[in-house]
């Protein structure tokens, strides 16, 4: 009887590790919205990383978080760092890696707490018409084995997509006012 209980206990403990072998470790999310403003206006606004504080869900989770900046905003190499007591916000920094005028801004997100990770992100703009712009906001992430077991349980992709969509909705309201 004791052997059966021990076997079942070991099987229960091993199940997440076995399942994690079959779960992807990388994820990609992309959200988009159309904003009734010309592409040059939208891109000029998005180019300034500090503006993300006005529409990003994560920046609005803790309005009292500590922020620091290095470099000239809107240029390659500009770094925005944050530190929050809110565990959902944590601490980290975001750096502008590349700017393709009126088209794309590439970032590197470096999370320090509550977990360490480096993730690429981007925002793109494309003209839908002379007075309308499609904005895409994308993010890639990675969870090492066996933590990748949490991807489907926590619905990381769904949570990040919801936050990106809400941020884009906030951006739309802000720019169309």
58-106 pLDDT per residue, tens: 888 998 999 999 999 999 999 999 999 888 889 999 999 999 999 999 9
Domain coordinates in residue numbering, the chain:
25-176
- Which residues, 6 or more positions from 71, have their beta carbon under 8 angstroms from its beta carbon? 77, 78, 79
**pLDDT bracket for residue 164 (50, 70, 90):** very high
Edge-first strand order for the sheet with 91-100 is 26-35, 132-142, 117-129, 104-113, 91-100, 79-83, 66-70
Residue 58's pLDDT is: 87
Residue 100: predicted pLDDT: 98
Does the domain at residues 25-176 carry the CATH identifier 3.30.530.20? yes
pLDDT at 171: 98
pLDDT value of position 148: 77
Q: What is the pLDDT of residues 16-57, one digit of tens each?
A: 888 888 888 888 999 999 999 999 999 999 999 999 999 999
For residue range 4-18, what is the model confidence (pLDDT) as tens digits?
A: 999 999 989 998 888
- Please say whether the beta carbons of 142 and 117 come within 8 A: yes
Which is more confidently placed, 123 or 28? 123
Q: What is the pLDDT of residue 141?
A: 86
At 80 the pLDDT is 97
pLDDT band at 153 (very low <50, low <70, confident <90, very high): confident
Query: CA angle at residue 81 from 77 to 87, to 5 degrees?
Result: 145
Angle (deg, nearest 10), helices 39-47 and 156-176: 120
Q: Of 171 and 157, which is predicted with more confidence?
A: 171
């Amino acid at each position: 009887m004791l052997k059966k209980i021990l076997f079942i206990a070991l099987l229960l403990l091993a199940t997440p590790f076995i399942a994690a072998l079959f779960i992807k470790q990388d994820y990609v999310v992309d959200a988009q919205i159309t904003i009734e403003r010309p592409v040059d206006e939208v891109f000029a606004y998005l180019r300034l990383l500090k503006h993300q504080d006005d529409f990003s869900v994560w920046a609005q989770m803790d309005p009292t978080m500590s922020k620091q900046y290095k470099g000239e905003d809107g240029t390659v190499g500009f770094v925005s760092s944050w530190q929050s007591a809110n565990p959902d916000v944590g601490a980290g920094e975001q750096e502008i890696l590349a700017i393709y005028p009126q088209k794309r801004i590439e970032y590197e997100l470096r999370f320090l707490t509550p977990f360490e990770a480096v993730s690429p992100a981007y925002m793109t703009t494309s003209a839908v018409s002379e007075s309308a712009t499609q904005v895409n906001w994308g993010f890639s992430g990675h969870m090492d084995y066996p933590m990748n077991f949490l991807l489907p349980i926590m619905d990381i992709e769904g949570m990040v997509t919801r936050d990106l969509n809400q941020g884009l909705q906030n951006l739309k309201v802000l720019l169309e006012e």
